[in-house]
Chain A
Amino acid sequence: MARDRDPGREIIPAVQKLRIQHAKRDRLRFTSHRDFQRAFERALKRAGVPMAYSAGFSPHPKISYANAAPTGVASEAEYVEIGVIQVVDPDKLLAVLDEVLPPGLDILAVVEARTPDFVARLEASHWRIELPGTPVATLDQALEKFMASSEVLVDRMTKSGLRTFDARTAVIRANVESGADCAILQVVVRHGVPAVRPDDVLAALKKVADFAQEIPPRVTRLAQGPLLEDGWSVGDPFTLDREATQA
């Protein structure tokens, strides 16, 4: 734990905010969100990033995490925002931070935050769900039934107990592909409360169709961001910041 600082000590405000896109790959997909937070904060230290700290007895570095993917799920699109007390070069930050993080926790992009309401821009996620051993036709049938339903209620254990909610409405688009020894479900899900997660979609498929999955699926979040004009493609949430920087 960080040393508890004298609350009377001068607090240096952040002069810049940076938004970071990172991946969680391969065996490190088993990293929980808490694990990632700890590893990331240590990486910032090793990288020598001049972090801004909160005031109070136990100062914390200024970091906000958005919509972390569940433990066991890989991701190409996780987002973090940090506040720093000296102006940082986003390209250098990308290179150095990636170097000090273990392979599997990889930094993909860094932009200077130039626009408000970043989290609100993360409207939907695109998930790729590999189902080893499942025939494509079986998955196809299940998906057809699911998409034809207007509502599919599923249960999930949450911190506040068992919750029942609809997993269908949030699914904007879904299709089935054939992989090496698996069927692949590509699905775009709109974020909401409670968030519909890939395992909720699978639970819903199992509910509407006779469809068992013995081997655990391999899930990857491919993208997270604003819904584009076509109503189902997921865009890059950094576009607005990049445009603002160039302007």
Chain B
Amino acid sequence: MTVQSVFPALEQLLPRVQKPVQYVGGELNAVVKPWEDTIVRWCLMYPDAYEVGIPNQGVQILYEVLNERADTLCERTYAVWPDLEKLMREHDVPQFTVDAHRPVGAFDALGVSFSTELGYTNMLTAIDLAGVPLHAVDRDDTHPLVIAGGHAAFNPEAISMFIDGAVLGDGEQAVLAITDIIAEFKTQGSPGGRDELLMRLAKSGVMYVPAFYDVEYLEDGRIRRVSPNRPGVPWRVAKHTVMDLDEWPYPKAPLVPIAESVHERMSVEIFRGCTRGCRFCQAGMITRPVRERSMTTIADMVANGLEKTGYEEIGLLSLSSADHSEIAEIAKGLADRYEDTQTSLSLPSTRVDAFNIDLANELSRNGRRSGLTFAPEGGSERIRKVINKMVTEEDLIRTVTAAYASGWRQVKLYFMCGLPTEEDEDVLQIARLAHEVIKAGREASGRKDIRCTVSIGGFVPKPHTPFQWAAQLDHATTDSRLYKLRDAIRQDREFGKSIGVRYHDGKPGVVEGLLSRGDRRVGKVIEQVWRDGQRFDGWSEHFSYDRWMAAAEIAFADEAVDVDWYTIRERDLSEVLAWDHLDSGLDKEWLWDDWQDALSDVEVDDCRWTPCFDCGVCDHMGTEIQVGPTNAVMLPMPKIPSRVVATSGA
């Protein structure tokens, strides 16, 4: 069977939509394979607009890992904007891949990568446009398996009725294992159909298959228990952890789109995991332990990536890049290598210490010093102890003083509002802190034109963190605290004009909270709101709080629960959480103890530099911390002769 490109039909619609180039593919380093030459066909989706989805590292890595297999092809699809969706429905054009414009419904598996829960409604649009039944239970052997991945897959219960499976943790080895199982199954002639394939996947432990688990509820709405309904299916499904990132130096040939994207740079992941132990941070909790990529591999990936892409900016990515054991050597080595080029380096880092400034200075050695970003996260000393962000006010003032003194003109400070135990006063402290920052900065730099921008977002409690039991702050109180902060800064007569405030209202956080700690009953809300037209929840111009609340009203009509029950309700230790059968490696008792420590302002250190705190991950998952130093040396770049310069003229 061959599969026809839908491009001839799509082409007729493209002149009538915004930014048609986002639908045509043709990215540099994209791969198109003949359909018939492969056994397993994957379609990967990032459930947001192309401009947001194309730079996503997870999709790019898996795309390459899968396409390297001779028996497998992998293509990509992204969320189409409502203007094209409408035309596609009118003209019967199905959801398509951008690589070869093949219909998504023809693939064996549709893997959807969720960085956040705000992509759920877009997944429904894609499944529906693909001609695949919305509910997993209605699908047959001709339909792709819909598989969720990414951080949100650590609690996929809210979307469990729409997906066939979820993969927890690092995807590189997991997608290959799934591919092996699908290949074997298809080669055998697909015995037992879809159900048998899902059983094989579930039994292997590679994938969580929600249909094979039953959820029972107590009368008050809490979960009584979650249990497998088939023999041979594991009680708990564990996350995947790739050890030795040097063996997985992907992406080797990053995709470079023709359309403009939100990240016009090449990214190199310098380590995975973080053990700083910030209690609000789901990423830091679910990606343990820390696994560093070596300096040598990083340098090779940077050199190779620049050559393959033509990008002028490199981002050294991780959850806290300044924490790499050899970051100083890496920064100096790369700065030396690219000193006389137009190439620039950036290091997203939230560390608040002088070392961070040294790094930033090194990376901007011969450039203009515009802005630096720090993330104290909490406004008061007390709240920073609660969230385990170990930064004192003294640290912060010392750090920003060093930044302004070395020529940086603007400092951005990130905070959160709505943290557990928070009072108005904790947030109002931010105004005082910003005042002190400007005061110290003016003294250190001798200039009056320095600036400080305070950026503040609402906190959403996430599964698999010590705050998974916490009550989320309601949006009205969140907003009132943010307004009080804004007013306090405006009233700062001395420095108020040098301080900027950026914040978002608290309503989107409520929906994110509902989805991230949701259980299977929340699926009905998602379906309802999608049927009511909700799309692109991450975009303020498309997000509608009222539509979500109206949908919840309908979906929860016959349930003992409501939106408040999921969001602003505090849980206790005895409650079965919707994600308890999904294993991030973290010991629930440890998380609870850490939650209790938070409530009594007790801090916990980073296990990279202190003995193990028994969070459970390494023991349970058979993993270990992998950190340097390797003491390798980054050599200068070899000079590559130009292929275009005239031989005589050179």
Query: A residues near B, CB below 8 A?
Result: 1-6, 9, 27-28, 30-32, 34-36, 38-39, 41-50, 53, 57, 59, 71-72, 86-89, 92-93, 96-97, 100, 102-105, 215-216
Contacts and interface: CB of A to CB of B under 8 A. Distances in A.
Given A27-B25, A72-B15, A216-B15, A1 B312 contact: yes
B368 A57 contact: yes
Contact of A3 (B11, B12, B344, B642): B344
Contacts of B366: 3, 5-6, 9
A179 B642 CA distance: 46
A151 B353 CA distance: 71
B26 A27 contact: yes
A107 B88 CA distance: 34
B633 interface: no
B646 A88 contact: yes
B644 A30 contact: no
A31 B21 contact: yes
B644 A28 contact: no
A96 B643 contact: yes
A32 B24 CA distance: 12
Interface in B25-40: 25-28
Contacts of B643: 47-48, 92, 96
B218 interface: no
Interface size class of B (residues with CB under 8 A): 35 or more
Contacts of A41: 310
B311 interface: yes
A41 B342 CA distance: 12
Interface of B: 7, 11-12, 14-16, 19-21, 23-28, 256, 258-260, 264, 306-313, 342-344, 364, 366-368, 640, 642-650
B368 A27 contact: no
Contacts of B649: 86-89
B20 A88 contact: no
Contacts of B24: 27-28, 30
A71 B27 contact: no
A49 B644 contact: yes
17 contacts: A1-B312, A4-B368, A5-B367, A6-B367, A27-B26, A30-B23, A39-B258, A41-B310, A42-B310, A46-B310, A50-B642, A71-B21, A86-B645, A88-B645, A89-B645, A97-B644, A104-B26
Contact of A50 (B14, B310, B313, B645): B645
A60 to B, nearest CB: 10
Nearest to A215: B12
A93 B310 contact: no
A47 B12 contact: no
B20 A71 contact: yes
Nearest to B265: A1
Most B CB contacts (10 A, CB to CB) among A27, A36, A71, A100 go to A27
A86 B642 contact: yes
Contacts of B27: 102
Contacts of A48: 640, 642-644
Nearest to A46: B310
Contact of A47 (B26, B28, B644): B644
Contacts of B258: 28, 31, 35-36, 38-39, 102, 105
B260 A38 contact: yes
B367 A32 contact: no
A44 B364 CA distance: 24
Nearest to B19: A32
A72 B12 CA distance: 11
A3 B311 contact: no
Contacts of B311: 42, 45
The 7 tightest CB contacts between A and B, nearest first, are A87-B649, A42-B310, A3-B344, A45-B310, A4-B368, A27-B24, A216-B15
Contacts of B26: 27-28, 102-104
A59 B259 CA distance: 22
B259 A35 contact: yes
